[in-house]
Amino acid sequence: MAVDSQSAGKVTTRHNSALREADQSADERMSHHDNSKQFPALAPGPSRIFAPQPAMAVNRPKKNSTACQACKLAKRKCSGVPSPCKACVSAGAEADCHFDPSRDLRRKVAVKRTIKELNDYKDLLESLLAAIRSEPLDKLNDLMVLIRSNASMRDIACAVGSPVTKFTDSKTLSTASLATMSEDGDQHFDSSYMEQLETKHRRPSGPDQIPILPEEDDPKGSPRAAFHPYARVTLESLCDIPLYKVPARPWTDVTDDDDFVSHLVSLYFTWDHPCAQFLDQGIFIDHMKRGDPGSHFCTPLLVNSLLSVASAYSDSPDAFSNTDDTFSRGQHFFQEAEKLWTAQRGRQTLSNIQALLMMCSVLLSQGKVRQGWFLLRQAAQMGQDMGLLMLPRVIQPSRKDMGLFVLPGVAWASDDEIKNEDEDEGIMSPEMERIRTITAWGIFNLNLQMSMKLRKVTSLPPPIYNVLIGGDADFEWTPYPRSNQIIYSTKLAHLPQLRQGMAELTDIVAHVQELLYDQSLTTSIHDLSEKAEDPYQRLQGWLANWPDTPQIEKEPIPHVLILRIKCHQAIMNLLEMLIQRDFQGSMTKALQQKWGQEAEEMAQCLRIHRQSYGLKYIPSQVVDAVQSSLRVLVHQLDTEEASHAFIEFCRFGMAMSRTFKPTADAIHAIKSLLQRGTVSLPIEAIAVLDESELRRSPEA
């Protein structure tokens, strides 16, 4: 029994020891688990106390704030700054390793950059306004000379004593941006990036270094450059005061920003309307200010069409419908106009005709000529149905005394556009007569322009109204925006004279068109030149009745310049037709000499426009003249005068290639010829065709 008790005691001792070891192991496991996460007590009681654990440093992987451009294209992981990164070194692409801090769109970096830019522009604006208020006149004149000499923002800031003198220095901005990247991402960089940045923007030394496609060097005209954080806020936009204050609602659903809509309306009546008058400016603005969507003279369809045209002259981010497409200016307004026109179901009103004419102009500037022609035919048919283009059967003798025009047979009662107190008698008010006249001539002028583009002979009869019925009411004109042009005095827009001049020119060009597209090729060159002599002399006489370039240069008005350019273009088209029909070459040399003289005259008009108003606001009416002249003149650079004219055309072509696709196509074709060595261009023309050179131009 003693032995059994002793054995049992040993077993019990071993069992208790095993239980204690198990409890201790469980406590250790629980303690280890609770160190990482403490669960709430199941019942009230004293909280457990844990012994502090020694802190262990954990090296977490740091994320790069941005990748180099080479790694982005190759879609590989980038080690970040400094340049070259490890991935580019491994791939042997050290030369292509560039870091662009402006593409770092993190919120913290972008906010810092935006705040710094806004403060810098604010300081410059305050210094500039203080100088204008207090400086004597001679110093103000020196300041204006400095500003108009395309000086940098830093030079202007120094001249007015601004405390900020480095905000426009791209090198300083890039260094600051990289410093922000280093601060936020705990990375480092060296000065090699700045050398690469300077090399990237270095002026090319030969034609083989000029990029052909926009993707090759990200030109200023690209949407990415247009929406660059540094370019969003400018001194010009801060000082912008629209000429006309109009509401956005109820006219458009695209935006509710009254300032932006007022900005676009002011741009339209400054740069586009004078040479392409489709509506009465005063009546339209008056009715738009009223905000009545039931107005007969201002409708949502007409407003959206107008805004789509005006967007071509704006660099505001709101003017783009697609930030990745530089040719998308105004497309959101155009699409809204298309929906509204579909809802109209072909309703015949003057405002609908005017809207279709503007939509046609938008398509024409985009190179969509046949789509524009389809809209124009609808507008022309409505014009004929409404009696704008048909001869009246009866004209009351009292029209001179009463200022009224009577059209028996026109269904006035069914046309809600012209309802007034005299509608039962079929009497038209002077205001309605003026609007109908302006619209009718707008149809006729645009129809001729489109038919010339499509090489068709126009079959549209002229308007029934004398163009003088449009009235002699004129408006003041001043270049808008005006922040950098404060010394310009207000001038008359000469809208009645422009309507009359355009009507006379259209009548002559219609005769030229019949000769241009005559299907008979059997006529000899001598007989054809005799037929062309009459319209040629009429065009020369038209030019003689208008101020010549020296007179215009004293008081430049862009609309008069555009009208002269249109006349020179008509003469050049006539001469080009004769050159193409001269199969034996007996008159080719003399005709080419005359063509070159007309091109030089046109280039003189463009030069005056550039020196007076810059290259930022160019009326769309010169798109066809510039691109057609570029395509021909590039092969005729045998004289110094022709070279100078070609350089001027290149300046305008490059500026308009950011907005108008036909001009961009013409510039691309010239660059392709230059790359293949087909043509030899002047050095100055090569510099103009270089995007990086254009990017540095302050007037562009």
Q: What is the pLDDT of residues 345-371, one digit of tens each?
A: 889 999 999 999 999 999 998 889 999
Euclidean distance between CA atoms 575 and 536, whole angstroms: 9
3 state SS for 6-63: HHHHHHHHHHHHHHHHHHHHHHHHHHHHHHHCCCCCCCCCCCCCCCCCCCCCCCCCCC
Torsion angles phi and psi, residue 320, rounded to 5? -95, 135
Query: Is 563 in the same domain as 659?
Result: yes
Residues 277, 331 within the same domain: yes
On whether both 298 and 336 belong to a single domain, the answer is yes
* DSSP state letter for 271: I
Residues 6+ positions from 294 with CB-CB distance below 8 Å: none
Both structure tokens of 404: 């009224």
Q: In which residue are the tokens 């319209």 written? A: 535
Element counts in the chain: helices (H) and strands (E): 28, 4
Q: Which helix (H) or strand (E) holds 427?
A: strand 427-428
Q: Which of 372, 387, 389 is nearest to 452 (CA)?
A: 372
Q: What is the pLDDT of residue 232?
A: 47
Q: Is 151 contained in some domain?
A: no
Instruction: Convert 139-157 into a string of H (helix), E (strand) and C (coil).
Output: HHHHHHHHHHCCCCHHHHH
Torsion 128-131-137-143 (CA) sign: negative
Distance from C-alpha of 29 to C-alpha of 27, rounded to nearest angstrom: 5
Q: Are 449 and 376 in contact (CB under 8 A)?
A: no
Same-domain pairing of 533 and 388: no
Helix (H, G, I), strand (E, B) or coil at 555: coil
Structure token digits, residue 69: 């451009």
Mark which of 155, 181, 200 sits at the end of a domain.
Answer: 200
**Which amino acid, residue 472?**
D
Strand 427-428 versus strand 405-406 pairing type:
antiparallel
Point out which residues pair with 406 in neighbouring strands. Answer: 427
DSSP 489: P
Q: Tell me, yes or no, whether 585 lies in a domain.
A: yes
Dmax over CA atoms of the chain, in Å, equals 153
Question: Residue holding tokens 């249109």?
Answer: 566
Claim: this prediction has a pTM higher than 0.85: no
Domain count of the fold of the chain: 3
Q: With CA atoms as reference, report the closest residue to 353 among 313, 305, 397, 284.
A: 305
The residue assigned the tokens 């008010």 is 429
309/323 Cα distance (integer angstroms): 18
Contact present, 82 and 190 (Cβ < 8 Å): yes
Q: Where are the alpha helices (DSSP H) in 545-587?
A: 549-554, 558-581
Residue 255 lies in a domain: yes
pLDDT value, residue 487: 56
Share of the chain above pLDDT 70, in %: 70
Same domain, 185 and 298: no
- For residue 617, what is the DSSP state? -
Residue 477 forms beta bridges with which residues?
A: 491
Specify the pLDDT at position 209: 46
Domain end point (choices 433, 448, 463)? 463
Q: State the DSSP string of 359-403.
A: HHHHHHHTT-HHHHHHHHHHHHHHHHHTTSSS--S---TTHHHH-
Are 429 and 485 contained in the same domain?
Answer: no
Tell whether 481 and 527 lie within a shared domain: yes
Strand partners, 571: none
Domain presence at residue 8: no
The amino acid at 231: A
Between the two ends of the chain, the Cα-to-Cα distance in Å is 116
136 assigned to some structural domain: no
Amino acid 525: pLDDT: 80
Q: Give me the pLDDT at residue 22, please.
A: 53
The alpha helices in 149-187, defined as continuous H runs, are 153-159, 170-185
Name the CA dihedral angle for 190, 194, 200, 205, rounded to a multiple of 10 degrees: -120
Does 455 lie in the same domain as 480?
A: no
Residues with Cβ within 8 Å of residue 62, at least 6 apart in sequence: 185, 186, 187
Residues 570 and 452 grouped into a single domain:
no
Nearest to 643 by CA among 700, 599, 590: 599
The answer to whether residue 550 sits within a structural domain is yes
Identify the segments of the chain with pLDDT beneath 50.
Answer: 1-5, 8, 11, 30-37, 48-57, 165-232, 391-425, 484-486, 692-700
* Residue 581 resides in a domain: yes
d(CA 281, CA 288): 11
User: Do 660 and 623 contact (CB within 8 A), yes or no?
Assistant: yes
Whether residue 576 is found in the same domain as residue 434: no
pLDDT of residue 549: 84
Cβ distance 446 to 276 under 8 Å?
Answer: yes
Q: What is the pLDDT of residue 361?
A: 94
492 membership: H or E segment, kind and range: strand 491-492
Answer yes or no: do 309 and 424 share one domain: yes
* CB-CB contact of 637 with 682 (8 Å): yes
Rounded-to-integer distance, Cα 646 and Cα 630, Å:
7
Residues 639 and 641: their CA atoms lie apart, in Å, by 5
* Residue type, position 414, single letter: S
Residues 459 and 487 in one domain: no
Q: Which helix (H) or strand (E) holds 340?
A: helix 331-344
State residue 181's pLDDT score. 42
Going by the DSSP 8-state scheme, the letter that residue 405 receives in this structure is E
Do residues 590 and 526 lie in contact, with contact meaning Cβ atoms separated by under 8 Å? no
- Following DSSP, what letter does each residue of 495-540 receive, concatenated? HHHHHHHHHHHHHHHHHHHHHHT-S---S-HHHHHHHHHHHHHHHH
Assess if residue 24 is contained within a domain.
no
- In angstroms, the CA 379 to CA 570 distance is 25
Burial label for 210, CB within 10 Å (0-12, 13-18, 19+), is buried
Q: How many Cα atoms within 13 Å fall on the side-chain side of residue 515? A: 26
Of the residues 407, 437, 463, the one at which a domain ends: 463
Half-sphere exposure of residue 225: CA atoms within 13 angstroms, side-chain side? 15
Range of the domain at 632: 469-696
